[in-house]
Amino acid sequence: MLAWMWLGGVAQAADCSQSASLDDFVAASAKAEEAFASMDIVTLSAVKGYAMDLLPCLDSKVTTREAATFHRMVALAAFTAGDEDLVLAEYHAARRLEPGYAIPEDVVPPGHRLRELYDQSVDADEGELHAMMPPTGGHLVVDGIRGAPRPDGISVIVQVFDAEGTLAETVLLEGGEPTPSWAPELPAPLPPPPVEPEPEPSASGSRGRTVTWIATGVAAAAAGGLYFAASEAHTEYYESGLVGDEREAIRKKNNTLFFSSVGAGVLAAGLGVTATVAF
């Protein structure tokens, strides 16, 4: 009779057409211990299903104590199904939240295999811890603890609160499930700007470079010719045997030719640099 009463509630709660009371959720979890103590496996299974269906419809925050009660209920149901690995995981989840809890002897008598599993669950592997991203301006509550990381090896109750502090969603993440994120997706990064090819040299640039190199050659040739003429005048100055004004005229001619060759050389060098750098 009790089992059918709980199963009727399951059908009503599953679609979340109405919000579920936290008191009903806690009562369902606690009812599991009574069913286990009396070995009423049908009722225990029904109570677990009812609590599972109430979970996504909850209207308020779950505390650590209420989350621990839920995990112990799942452990009891797992034991009756012969799944001792799940028993260890769920008891470990409960003991993280209520480390001082002791199973009542009227629920599980001394020497029972379930007590051994409860003791062993302290060292059960809870997996790796993952930080979860809340919605913008909001926050997450993991098994009753705000902002706690999610251990991926055991189940946790995750509640999502929006920027106004309103409960938006309650989900049960089973051990091994991927860790979700409630943060908005970031826009895709912009593609890098296209690389512009180096411009081809223009015809005018080629012509300018050609003219400059020609001017450089002319200046260099002029510098060489002037230097040669200056050298000839220098020889004439010392070997002609002339004296007086004629000798002085040769000296001035030598100086003029020499400095002119220097100027032409400087011009040639400057034009060569211009042709190399500017073009």
pLDDT digits (tens, 9 = 90+) for 55-71: 999 999 999 999 999 99
Q: Can you tell me the mean pLDDT for 145-167?
A: 96
3-state secondary structure of 182: coil
| Residue 186: pLDDT over 70 | no
According to the model, what pLDDT value does residue 211 have?
43
3-state secondary structure of 123: helix
| Residue 263: pLDDT over 80 | no
Q: Can you tell me the mean pLDDT for 235-253?
A: 57
- List helix spans (H) across the chain: 2-13, 22-37, 41-54, 64-80, 84-97, 113-120, 203-239, 245-277
Query: What is the C-alpha separation between 71 and 78, in angstroms, rounded?
Result: 10
Q: Smallest Cα–Cα separation from 55: which of 171, 179, 174?
A: 171
pTM of the model: 0.65
Contact 172, 52 (CB under 8 A): yes
Q: Which residues contact 158 (CB under 8 A, 6 or more apart)?
A: 132, 140, 141, 142, 150, 170, 171, 172, 173
Instruction: Express each pLDDT in 135-148 by its tens digit.
Output: 999 999 999 999 99
Mean pLDDT of the residues in the chain: 78
Query: What is the C-alpha separation between 229 and 223, in angstroms, rounded?
Result: 10
Query: What is the C-alpha separation between 254 and 211, in angstroms, rounded?
Result: 32
Cross-strand bridge partners of residue 172: 157
Instruction: Express each pLDDT in 188-213 by its tens digit.
Output: 677 777 777 766 655 554 554 544 44
- C-alpha dihedral sign at 226, 228, 230, 236: negative
